Protein backbone atom coordinates (compact mmCIF):
# COMPACT_ATOMS: atom_id res chain seq x y z
CA UNK A 1 0.00 0.00 0.00
CA UNK A 2 1.35 3.39 -1.01
CA UNK A 3 1.26 5.89 1.81
CA UNK A 4 -0.26 9.20 0.69
CA UNK A 5 1.95 12.25 0.75
CA UNK A 6 1.71 14.78 3.51
CA UNK A 7 -0.96 17.40 2.89
CA UNK A 8 -0.03 21.05 2.75
CA UNK A 9 -1.29 23.61 5.24
CA UNK A 10 -3.56 25.09 2.57
CA UNK A 11 -5.05 21.68 1.79
CA UNK A 12 -5.73 20.98 5.46
CA UNK A 13 -7.38 24.38 5.96
CA UNK A 14 -9.54 23.96 2.87
CA UNK A 15 -10.67 20.49 3.95
CA UNK A 16 -11.64 21.83 7.36
CA UNK A 17 -13.44 24.83 5.88
CA UNK A 18 -15.46 22.68 3.50
CA UNK A 19 -16.42 20.19 6.20
CA UNK A 20 -17.31 22.96 8.65
CA UNK A 21 -19.44 24.84 6.13
CA UNK A 22 -21.47 21.71 5.39
CA UNK A 23 -21.94 20.87 9.07
CA UNK A 24 -22.98 24.36 10.15
CA UNK A 25 -25.53 24.70 7.35
CA UNK A 26 -26.92 21.19 7.86
CA UNK A 27 -26.95 21.05 11.67
CA UNK A 28 -26.56 24.59 12.98
CA UNK A 29 -23.89 25.88 15.32
CA UNK A 30 -24.94 24.17 18.56
CA UNK A 31 -25.34 20.71 17.03
CA UNK A 32 -21.99 20.79 15.24
CA UNK A 33 -18.88 19.53 17.04
CA UNK A 34 -15.21 19.97 16.25
CA UNK A 35 -14.81 16.20 16.43
CA UNK A 36 -17.34 15.73 13.62
CA UNK A 37 -15.77 18.46 11.51
CA UNK A 38 -12.30 16.97 11.91
CA UNK A 39 -13.60 13.50 11.10
CA UNK A 40 -15.42 14.67 7.97
CA UNK A 41 -12.35 16.59 6.86
CA UNK A 42 -10.09 13.60 7.46
CA UNK A 43 -7.78 15.49 9.81
CA UNK A 44 -7.10 15.42 13.54
CA UNK A 45 -8.76 17.71 16.07
CA UNK A 46 -5.41 19.17 17.16
CA UNK A 47 -4.90 20.39 13.58
CA UNK A 48 -8.33 21.99 13.63
CA UNK A 49 -7.53 23.86 16.82
CA UNK A 50 -4.11 24.83 15.52
CA UNK A 51 -5.53 26.44 12.39
CA UNK A 52 -8.80 27.95 13.64
CA UNK A 53 -8.74 27.93 17.44
CA UNK A 54 -12.04 26.08 17.72
CA UNK A 55 -15.62 25.95 16.51
CA UNK A 56 -16.24 29.69 16.73
CA UNK A 57 -13.22 30.41 14.56
CA UNK A 58 -14.40 27.96 11.93
CA UNK A 59 -17.91 29.41 11.97
CA UNK A 60 -16.54 32.90 11.48
CA UNK A 61 -14.33 31.82 8.58
CA UNK A 62 -17.03 29.84 6.79
CA UNK A 63 -20.56 31.03 7.49
CA UNK A 64 -19.97 34.65 8.52
CA UNK A 65 -17.27 35.39 5.95
CA UNK A 66 -19.26 33.66 3.23
CA UNK A 67 -22.35 35.75 3.90
CA UNK A 68 -20.26 38.88 4.32
CA UNK A 69 -18.81 38.31 0.85
CA UNK A 70 -22.32 37.94 -0.59
CA UNK A 71 -23.39 41.17 1.11
CA UNK A 72 -20.31 42.99 -0.19
CA UNK A 73 -21.10 41.88 -3.73
CA UNK A 74 -24.66 43.13 -3.35
CA UNK A 75 -23.74 46.51 -1.87
CA UNK A 76 -21.07 46.87 -4.54
CA UNK A 77 -23.80 46.71 -7.17
CA UNK A 78 -25.79 49.48 -5.48
CA UNK A 79 -23.62 52.47 -4.70
CA UNK A 80 -25.76 55.41 -5.85
CA UNK A 81 -29.03 56.57 -4.22
CA UNK A 82 -32.05 55.53 -6.29
CA UNK A 83 -34.11 58.64 -5.64
CA UNK A 84 -37.57 58.41 -7.17
CA UNK A 85 -36.89 55.79 -9.85
CA UNK A 86 -39.45 53.06 -9.16
CA UNK A 87 -37.99 50.60 -11.68
CA UNK A 88 -34.58 50.74 -10.03
CA UNK A 89 -36.13 50.55 -6.56
CA UNK A 90 -37.96 47.36 -7.49
CA UNK A 91 -34.77 45.96 -9.00
CA UNK A 92 -32.92 46.76 -5.76
CA UNK A 93 -35.51 44.95 -3.66
CA UNK A 94 -35.59 41.96 -6.02
CA UNK A 95 -31.80 41.74 -5.92
CA UNK A 96 -31.71 41.91 -2.12
CA UNK A 97 -34.44 39.30 -1.80
CA UNK A 98 -32.52 37.02 -4.14
CA UNK A 99 -29.37 37.33 -2.03
CA UNK A 100 -31.32 36.43 1.11
CA UNK A 101 -33.03 33.45 -0.54
CA UNK A 102 -29.74 32.17 -1.95
CA UNK A 103 -28.15 32.37 1.50
CA UNK A 104 -31.19 31.12 3.43
CA UNK A 105 -29.42 28.26 5.23
CA UNK A 106 -26.47 30.49 6.05
CA UNK A 107 -28.75 33.12 7.57
CA UNK A 108 -30.53 30.46 9.63
CA UNK A 109 -27.19 29.28 11.00
CA UNK A 110 -26.25 32.84 11.96
CA UNK A 111 -29.63 33.40 13.62
CA UNK A 112 -29.08 30.32 15.77
CA UNK A 113 -25.72 31.63 16.95
CA UNK A 114 -27.02 35.11 17.70
CA UNK A 115 -30.09 33.83 19.55
CA UNK A 116 -28.79 30.83 21.46
CA UNK A 117 -25.01 31.00 21.85
CA UNK A 118 -24.56 33.69 24.48
CA UNK A 119 -21.00 32.58 25.16
CA UNK A 120 -20.02 33.53 21.61
CA UNK A 121 -20.47 37.29 22.02
CA UNK A 122 -17.67 38.13 19.61
CA UNK A 123 -19.10 35.81 16.99
CA UNK A 124 -22.57 37.25 17.47
CA UNK A 125 -21.19 40.77 17.10
CA UNK A 126 -19.61 39.85 13.77
CA UNK A 127 -23.02 38.72 12.52
CA UNK A 128 -24.56 42.02 13.64
CA UNK A 129 -21.83 43.89 11.77
CA UNK A 130 -22.67 42.11 8.52
CA UNK A 131 -26.34 43.03 8.80
CA UNK A 132 -25.36 46.59 9.67
CA UNK A 133 -23.84 46.83 6.21
CA UNK A 134 -27.11 45.70 4.64
CA UNK A 135 -29.11 48.17 6.71
CA UNK A 136 -26.82 51.02 5.69
CA UNK A 137 -27.27 50.09 2.03
CA UNK A 138 -31.07 50.06 2.37
CA UNK A 139 -31.00 53.43 4.11
CA UNK A 140 -28.50 55.19 1.84
CA UNK A 141 -29.54 53.75 -1.53
CA UNK A 142 -33.26 52.92 -1.33
CA UNK A 143 -34.53 55.54 1.12
CA UNK A 144 -32.68 58.63 -0.09
CA UNK A 145 -33.07 61.19 -2.84
CA UNK A 146 -30.50 61.18 -5.63
CA UNK A 147 -28.50 63.87 -3.82
CA UNK A 148 -28.19 61.60 -0.78
CA UNK A 149 -30.66 63.38 1.50
CA UNK A 150 -33.12 61.02 3.23
CA UNK A 151 -36.80 61.01 2.37
CA UNK A 152 -38.85 63.13 4.76
CA UNK A 153 -40.91 61.41 7.43
CA UNK A 154 -38.81 58.23 7.59
CA UNK A 155 -36.98 57.15 10.72
CA UNK A 156 -33.28 56.62 9.91
CA UNK A 157 -33.03 53.51 12.09
CA UNK A 158 -36.41 51.80 12.24
CA UNK A 159 -37.49 52.26 8.61
CA UNK A 160 -34.45 50.49 7.06
CA UNK A 161 -34.81 47.79 9.73
CA UNK A 162 -38.49 47.30 8.87
CA UNK A 163 -37.70 47.04 5.15
CA UNK A 164 -34.91 44.50 5.68
CA UNK A 165 -36.93 42.53 8.23
CA UNK A 166 -39.84 42.19 5.79
CA UNK A 167 -37.61 40.79 3.05
CA UNK A 168 -35.64 38.65 5.49
CA UNK A 169 -38.77 37.11 6.97
CA UNK A 170 -40.22 36.09 3.61
CA UNK A 171 -36.87 34.79 2.36
CA UNK A 172 -35.84 32.80 5.42
CA UNK A 173 -39.09 31.81 7.14
CA UNK A 174 -41.08 31.01 4.02
CA UNK A 175 -41.81 27.47 5.28
CA UNK A 176 -43.65 28.98 8.24
CA UNK A 177 -45.35 31.81 6.36
CA UNK A 178 -46.64 29.77 3.43
CA UNK A 179 -48.50 26.66 4.53
CA UNK A 180 -47.74 23.36 2.86
CA UNK A 181 -51.49 23.01 2.27
CA UNK A 182 -51.65 26.08 0.06
CA UNK A 183 -49.99 27.00 -3.20
CA UNK A 184 -46.68 28.67 -2.48
CA UNK A 185 -46.34 31.87 -4.51
CA UNK A 186 -43.36 32.28 -6.81
CA UNK A 187 -40.54 34.49 -5.58
CA UNK A 188 -41.50 37.08 -8.20
CA UNK A 189 -44.96 37.38 -6.62
CA UNK A 190 -43.46 37.74 -3.15
CA UNK A 191 -41.05 40.41 -4.38
CA UNK A 192 -43.89 42.32 -6.04
CA UNK A 193 -45.90 42.36 -2.82
CA UNK A 194 -42.89 43.41 -0.77
CA UNK A 195 -42.01 46.12 -3.29
CA UNK A 196 -45.53 47.55 -3.24
CA UNK A 197 -45.50 47.59 0.55
CA UNK A 198 -42.13 49.33 0.72
CA UNK A 199 -42.59 51.79 -2.13
CA UNK A 200 -46.20 52.77 -1.44
CA UNK A 201 -46.35 52.14 2.29
CA UNK A 202 -43.12 53.17 3.98
CA UNK A 203 -42.39 56.01 1.57
CA UNK A 204 -45.90 57.49 1.32
CA UNK A 205 -46.98 57.54 4.90
CA UNK A 206 -48.94 60.41 6.49
CA UNK A 207 -46.75 63.20 7.76
CA UNK A 208 -44.22 63.01 4.97
CA UNK A 209 -45.03 66.63 4.05
CA UNK A 210 -46.72 65.67 0.81
CA UNK A 211 -43.63 64.29 -0.88
CA UNK A 212 -44.62 62.20 -3.89
CA UNK A 213 -42.10 59.43 -4.21
CA UNK A 214 -42.15 56.62 -6.72
DSSP helix/strand/coil, 150: strand
> 191 Cβ partners below 8 Å, 6+ apart?
90, 93, 94, 97
Confidence of residue 208 (pLDDT cuts 50, 70, 90): very low
d(CA 154, CA 140): 12
Residue 95: Cβ-neighbour burial (10 angstroms; 0-12, 13-18, 19+): middle
Give the predicted TM-score (pTM) of the model. Answer: 0.84
From 110-114, 136-140, 151-155, 210-214, the region with the lowest mean pLDDT: 210-214
Check the CA dihedral 201-175-112-116 and report its sign: positive
> Each residue of 164-175: pLDDT tens digit?
999 999 999 988
For residue 144, the cross-strand partners are 150
DSSP helix/strand/coil, 45: helix
d(CA 107, CA 75): 17
DSSP helix/strand/coil, 144: strand
Q: Which CATH number fits domain 55-204: 1.10.10.10, 1.10.357.10, 3.30.2270.10, 3.30.750.24?
A: 1.10.357.10
> Each residue of 13-33: pLDDT tens digit?
999 999 999 999 888 888 899
> Each residue of 57-112: pLDDT tens digit?
999 999 999 999 999 999 999 999 998 788 999 999 999 999 999 999 999 988 88
Confidence of residue 212 (pLDDT cuts 50, 70, 90): very low
164 neighbors 133 (Cβ within 8 angstroms): no
Using the 8-state DSSP alphabet, how is residue 79 labeled? -
Average pLDDT, the chain: 87
For the segment 180-195, the average pLDDT, to the nearest whole number, is: 86
N residues, the chain: 214
Domain boundaries, the chain: 55-204
Amino acid sequence: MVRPGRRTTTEVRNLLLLAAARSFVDHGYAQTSTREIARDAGVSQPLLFRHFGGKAGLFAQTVVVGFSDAVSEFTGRWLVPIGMEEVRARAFLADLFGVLVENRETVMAMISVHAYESESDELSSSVVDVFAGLLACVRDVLLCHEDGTPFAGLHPVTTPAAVLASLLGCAVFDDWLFSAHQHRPDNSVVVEELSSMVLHGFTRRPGSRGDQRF
